[in-house]
Structure 1
Amino acid sequence: MPPFATPSDLPGIVRVFPLEGAVLFPRAVLPLNIFEPRYLAMTRDAMASDQLIGIIQPKAAREAAPPDLFATGGLGRITSFSETGDGRFLIALTGLIRFHLVGELAVTTPYRQVKVDYQPFLADWGEPPALPPTQRVAVEDALRLYLNAQDLSADWDAVRGADDESLIHTLATVCPFDPLERQALLEAPDLPRRAETLTTLMAFAGGLPAGAAGPSRLQ
């Protein structure tokens, strides 16, 4: 497996999987069920080389042309791979770093490839800043409101035991936000601002005015 000690070790050209509603955060894991021929080819090529795939959301599709892509995506490494009896691949991507899309290449591969810039997101490579305690409380309170509004439940021992980044990225991935909301979460500059965006989205969906979720420790 090629070493990726620093972002400078990463390729400037990335094969991408445009997938609406999917975002990949640093150190988060995204499971994928690969069945389209072009993405089967992409996965084979990735497995045969650097094991890297970029996840990026497409914008609204246009007829007779591939959809435009959002400007920010996430680069992931294949950390789990299996092949099913019906020709599908089941893979898991672990996020490495976000990227800015510089431009798309004219390629002969069946999948799309883009030129990327990691410079705006170099902080992704290091440990994220811890959330202030009051902000962590606000996230948990907004989550409680959100789950109550959706008639869902959670393993609160697991929620409280999760580290800040794992909690924020898990919620940002599994909550049924729309593509633009997911993109806003991906583009948040750092973990505290992503947590702020997440709290606002959950509080709004839970029927609480934005900014009202806070250290109330709702029961």
Structure 2
Amino acid sequence: MAGLELLPDVPLFPLRTVLFPGGQLALRIFEPRYLDMVRECTRQDSGFGVCLILQGREAGAPAVPAAVGTIARITDFHTGDDGLLAIVVEGGARFRAVRTRARSDGLLRGSVILWPPDPPQQIPVEFALLQSIAERLVETMAPHFRHAPRSMYDDAAWVGCRLAELLPLDVEEQQRMLELTDPLQRLAELRDVLPRFQKS
């Protein structure tokens, strides 16, 4: 795996959700360890890793995270009506954590290897239905993508990520979609699960 970038010390935020490259996630921050993490990332203009929780909970004792996650960069933050810090993050590169450790305050940190982005790949005609479904889902569920260039709907990786985050998949299924490295395989598996969501 020569040429892959190693980040030796990245804060990790285990969640019961999966963040995809290019995706958006709104979070409310209240635990001191994560408030400190947000301050650190803002000060250093750096990101943190979002990983699916395999065991444990989002609050309290450190949870066991999935090894593959996504670097999140803070794009907006404000104080909510409840007085809590609210942030919006955008998904960047995927990574695999090769080592994790918990600090005394419970914040997980890891050494992570960044994955290269999926190369741009034209969607084959047999997946044209998925392009249409992605457009409908974005229109109704993801207004922040409404101004995406039309060319994005021709890119297998982008459409696959949008479908994986917007279709009502289990988080374990979403994690599998995140870990796939072939955009066309991701589209094929998403096509195969579509019948579950069709109204009878």
TM-score clears 0.5? yes
* Separation of aligned partners in 2, 1:109 and 1:192: 42
One-letter code of the match for 1:169? C
Q: Which residue of 1 aligns with 2:89?
A: 93
State the 1:93 CA deviation: 1.6
* Separation of aligned partners in 2, 1:60 and 1:207: 33
* Separation of aligned partners in 1, 2:100 and 2:83: 29
| Secondary structure, aligned partner of 1:203 | helix
Q: Which residue of 1 aligns with 2:48?
A: 53
Is 1:36 equivalent to 2:31 in the alignment?
A: yes
Sequence identity, in percent?
30
Seen in structure 2, the aligned counterparts of structure 1 residues 87 and 51 have a Cα distance that, compared at 3 Å, is farther
Seen in structure 2, the aligned counterparts of structure 1 residues 201 and 12 have a Cα distance that, compared at 3 Å, is farther
* Matches for 1:129-144 after TM superposition, within 5 Å: 129-137=121-129, 139-140=130-131, 143=133
| Secondary structure, aligned partner of 1:105 | strand
Q: Which structure: larger Rg?
A: 1
Q: Which residue of 1 aligns with 2:79?
A: 83
TM-score normalized by the length of structure 1: 0.69
State the 1:181 CA deviation: 0.6
Aligned-CA RMSD value: 3.3
Count residues with an aligned counterpart.
185
TM-score normalized by the length of structure 2: 0.75
Is 1:24 equivalent to 2:19 in the alignment?
A: yes
* Separation of aligned partners in 2, 1:44 and 1:93: 14
| Secondary structure, aligned partner of 2:7 | coil
Of the structure 1 ranges 43-52 and 179-188, higher mean CA displacement relative to structure 2 is found in 43-52
Is 1:168 equivalent to 2:160 in the alignment?
A: yes
Q: Which residue of 1 aligns with 2:192?
A: 200
Of the structure 1 ranges 169-178 and 94-103, higher mean CA displacement relative to structure 2 is found in 169-178
* Separation of aligned partners in 2, 1:66 and 1:193: 33
* Separation of aligned partners in 1, 2:192 and 2:28: 31
Q: Which residue of 2 aligns with 1:150?
A: none
State the 1:154 CA deviation: 5.2
Q: Which residue of 1 aligns with 2:68?
A: 72
Give the number of the structure whose residues are more often strand, by fraction: 2
